Structure 1
Amino acid sequence: MGDWRGMLDQLVRERGRALFGYAYVLTGERDQAEDLLQDALVRAFRSGRRASSLDAAHAYVKRAIATAFIDRARRASTRPRTAAGDLQDWVGHLPVAADHAPRVTTALDLQSALLTLPPRERACVALRFIDDMTVADVADTLGLATGTVKRYLSDGIARLREAMPDLELHDSETAAVDVKGGGER
C-alpha cells in the first residue's frame, strides 16, 4: 500500500502547484480550486493502485480535475442558485502591485472571460492555451473526440473574443467555424 502513497507524495511535491493552477483556472476561486484538487486526488488514488510513472499520475489527476469540474457544474446547474459574491468583490480582495497593474488587469479580464465559458469549453481552452496541449492531447485528456474539442475551442475562442476583442489567441490546429451560414470573415 506504500507504493501509491509514495507516488501521491511525489506528485503533490513536484506537480502540486501546476495541478492547483489548472484547478484554479477552471474554478476561478482559490477555495473551490483546493476542493477540486483534493477531490481529484482522492478519485485518482482511492483504489490504492500505483500509477506507472509521475507523468501518468499527473495526467490521470488532471483528467480527474476536469471530470470533477464538469460534474460539479452539471450538478450545480440543476440546483437553485444562491446570491454569490460579485466578481468585483472577488477582484477587490486580490493584492495588486502598482507596477504590474496593466498585466494584472488583463489577467483578471481574461479570468473573468474564462469564467463565462461553459465548463467543457473552459476545460478545452485551458488545456489548449494555458497548458499548451495539442488538440489530440486535449481530446485524450478529456476523453472526447478531436472534432468535439475543435468545436469547443472554436466556440470558446469566439466567446472570449467577444468579451476581449484585443485577445490574441492563435490556434494553428483549429479552423474558425462560420456559424452565420456563408459569407466571408
Structure 2
Amino acid sequence: MRRHEEQHFRDFAAQEAAALRRTAYLLCGDWHLAEDLMQSVLIKVYRHWSRLERRDALQPFVRRVLLRTWLDEKRKPWRRAEQSFATLPEVIDPAPGPDQAADRMHTRAVVRHALLQLPPGQRAALVLRFFDDLSVSDTAAAMRCSEGNVKSQTARGLSTLRRHLGLNRNPQPAAGGVWQHGWAS
C-alpha cells in the first residue's frame, strides 16, 4: 500500500473507530467483543483499502463488513454456550440532576437488555435503522437482503422489543374519554 493510501486509512480508522465500536456493542452487547469486532473490521477494510476506489460507498461497505463479522462470530460453536455478564462501564451523563441521570441510565440498561433478547436479524435491523439512522435501502444493502425483509425484521423487532419492555400497544381510555397508550401492568 502506498504511503498516502495508508495515511487515508489511518485517518478513516481514527474517525470511525468509536462509531464502529458503538454499533458493534449494540449488536453483541459486550464491550470486549465489540472492541474485537471493531478491530477485525478495520483489519478487513485495511486489506482491501487500495481496491476501494469509490470512497463514497465506503460507509455501506464497512457496515456490511461489521454485520457479517458479527454474524460469523455468532455462528462459532464455542460462542453458543458462553454467556456474558459484563458490567457496563461508567459513562459521563450530561443530565442536570442525579435523579435524571439515574433514570436515564436505568432506561438505557433496560433497553439494551431488551435489545439483546432479540434474534440477530431483528436486532441488526433495529440497530442499523434507529441507532445508526440508516434508511431502509441502506439497511437492506448492509444486511444483503430486500427492503421488504428489512421492513419485516424491523416491525417484528419493534413488536418483540415492546413486549420485552412491557409496553402495551392497545390504547386505553384515560380520564375524560381521551385515549392514550400506557404501560402494561
TM-score, length-scaled by structure 1: 0.76
Secondary structure of residue in 2 paired with 1:90: coil
CA drift at 1:96? 7.6
Q: CA deviation at 1:13?
A: 1.8
Deviations 1:49-69 (A, max 9, x none): 243355433322221111111
Tell me the residue number matched to 1:131: 132
TM-superposition CA deviations, 1:5-42 (whole Å, max 9, x none): 22321111222211111111111111100100111112
1:49 aligned residue: 50
Point out 4+ residue stretches in structure 1 off by more than 4 angstroms.
Answer: 93-97
* Structure 1 partner of 2:117: 116
More deviation, 148-157/54-63: 54-63
2:161 paired with 1:160: yes
- For the aligned residues, what is the CA RMSD? 2.5
The answer to whether the 8 A contact 1:4-1:45 is kept is no
Taking only the aligned residue pairs, the percentage that are identical comes to 29
1:81 maps to a residue whose letter is A
2:87 aligned partner, one-letter code:
W
Q: Once the 2 structures are TM-superposed, how far is the Cα of residue 85 of structure 1 from its aligned partner?
A: 4.4
Q: Partners of 2:134 and 2:80 in 1: how far apart?
A: 35
Aligned position for 2:180? none
Q: Between Structure 1 and Structure 2, whose CA radius of gyration is higher?
A: 2
User: Equivalences for 1:67-86 in 2 at 5 Å?
Assistant: 67-76=68-77, 81-82=81-82, 84-86=83-85
Q: Which runs of 5+ in 1 are unaligned?
A: 169-185
Instruction: Assess if the C-alpha contact under 8 Å between 1:121 and 1:153 holds in 2.
Output: yes
Q: How many residues are matched?
A: 163
- Per-residue deviation, residues 54-105 of structure 1 (Å, max 9, x unmatched): 54333222211111111111224x76614x344xx625x6468644110111
Residue 138 of structure 1 and its aligned partner are, at CA, apart by 0.4
